[in-house]
Amino acid sequence: MARHSVPKTVLSAKRVAALRPALEALLCDRDDDDRLAADPLQAPHRYDRPEDQEIAAIFAATLAYGRVSLFLPVIQRILALADARGGPRAWVEGFSDEDAAAIDPVFYRWSRGSDLALLALTLQGALRTWPTIGALFAGNVKKSHPDISAGLARSIDALRREAEAAADVPFGTMSRGFKTMLSSPAAGSACKRWNMLLRWMARDGYPDLGLWDIPASKLILPLDTHTLQISRMLGLTRRSDGSWRTAAEITRNLRRIDPMDPVRFDFALAHLGISGECQKARVPDICDRCPMVGVCRVGAPPELSR
């Protein structure tokens, strides 16, 4: 039996008009510093130098999957190793067998110490060609492209070539842990961690860093369990799969709300789920205090959901 395709979701002008003030209210309702304390974005904020912030952000985004309370200590352990070598940029540029041995015991789920060492060597190789990793990414984003997908795919291909040169084996034979670090939209992956990194580095609104010369208008929402569920609750998509296609559809609808900076709502939406504030079900004591209650298809009171 042929599968029925999921209808494409395109926000109406009326729905855009309803969602815009609710999302703006959500932004005003949050405490960014409080949220940052429970977010991997805190890692680059430890540093003052942009070159250190960039490398710290890459390692933090790479490990930002699963429970925050489990991966944050791992990120902090890696940055402690980097700081002992003069900071993240100096650590990567001088990464040696001694550094590989030091990081070997560090692991988080399927990301092993050997994978993290190869990531450091991959960045080291890239920095021999580009002044920063941001320059690599920015150079692959074309003005004619509507979003980051093609530029991200080309950037990942460049990093895969650096990894192959460092490991002297084809990318396809590398460990699962390392291959997931260099996922690509060309394969349909939502690339949540790369899109999150791009948001951190391209947007210049706090708490994002604004260090990479990539237009915010081209960014794609970092899609994870929280943002997918909440996006469905808000009617931004009907899709239930965590794919690039779903992330792109949600972003297109957010772009109807803010064409120049569609992912600026991501930090607040994600933390509704991360913090446990949103139960993904109607809980009157929680939902009725939420700025999104009037537009949420799950949390709205019965008289509004008819």
Q: Determine the 3-state secondary structure of 243 from DSSP.
A: strand
Q: Determine the 3-state secondary structure of 103 from DSSP.
A: helix
Say whether pLDDT at 2 is over 70. Answer: no
Does 235 lie in the same domain as 211? Answer: no
Encode pLDDT of 222-234 as tens digits.
999 889 999 999 9
pTM: 0.93
Whether 171 is in a domain gets the answer: yes
Distance CA 248, CA 279 (A): 25
Say whether pLDDT at 244 is over 90. Answer: yes
User: Which of these three, 218, 253, 274, is where a domain ends?
Assistant: 218
Tell me what pLDDT residue 302 has. 76
Distance CA 75, CA 83 (A): 12
Tell me what pLDDT residue 248 has. 96
Tell me what pLDDT residue 304 has. 61
Whether 172 is in a domain gets the answer: yes
Does 274 lie in the same domain as 134? Answer: no
Does 147 lie in the same domain as 92? Answer: yes
User: Which of these three, 160, 184, 218, is where a domain ends?
Assistant: 218
Say whether pLDDT at 1 is over 70. Answer: no
Encode pLDDT of 92-141 as tens digits.
999 999 999 999 999 999 999 999 999 999 999 999 999 999 999 999 99
Whether 304 is in a domain gets the answer: no
Does 19 lie in the same domain as 69? Answer: no
Whether 75 is in a domain gets the answer: yes
In the chain, the number of structural domains is 2
Does 82 lie in the same domain as 65? Answer: yes
More confident residue, 302 or 166: 166
Whether 255 is in a domain gets the answer: yes
Say whether pLDDT at 77 is over 60. Answer: yes
Encode pLDDT of 193-216 as tens digits.
999 999 999 999 889 999 999 999
The DSSP letter of residue 108 is B
Residue 111: φ, ψ to 5°: -90, 110
pLDDT tier at 280, thresholds 50, 70, 90:
confident
Encode pLDDT of 56-68 as tens digits.
999 999 999 888 8
pLDDT tier at 305, thresholds 50, 70, 90:
low
Does 140 lie in the same domain as 241? Answer: no
Whether 1 is in a domain gets the answer: no
Task: Of 99, 91, 12, 27, give the one whose Cα is nearest residue 265.
Answer: 27
Please give the residue range of the domain that contains residue 49.
Answer: 39-218
Percent helix, strand, coil in the chain (nearest 5)? 60, 0, 40
Say whether pLDDT at 4 is over 80. Answer: no
Does 265 lie in the same domain as 119? Answer: no
Whether 4 is in a domain gets the answer: no
Whether 161 is in a domain gets the answer: yes
Tell me what pLDDT residue 276 has. 77
Give the other-Cβ count within 10 Å of 171's Cβ.
Answer: 15
Say whether pLDDT at 261 is over 80. Answer: yes
Does 139 lie in the same domain as 266? Answer: no
Tell me what pLDDT residue 164 has. 98
- The mean pLDDT value for 264-274 works out to 86
Q: Biggest alpha carbon distance in the chain? A: 65
Q: Using a pLDDT cut of 70, give the percent of the chain over it.
A: 97
User: Which of these three, 192, 218, 244, is where a domain ends?
Assistant: 218
**CATH code for position 244:** 1.10.1670.10
Does 98 lie in the same domain as 118? Answer: yes
Does 239 lie in the same domain as 212? Answer: no
Say whether pLDDT at 277 is over 50. Answer: yes
Does 170 lie in the same domain as 43? Answer: yes
Does 78 lie in the same domain as 128? Answer: yes
Distant-in-sequence, close-in-space partners of 8: CB < 8 Å, separation ≥ 6: 249
Token pair of 207, please?
């708490």
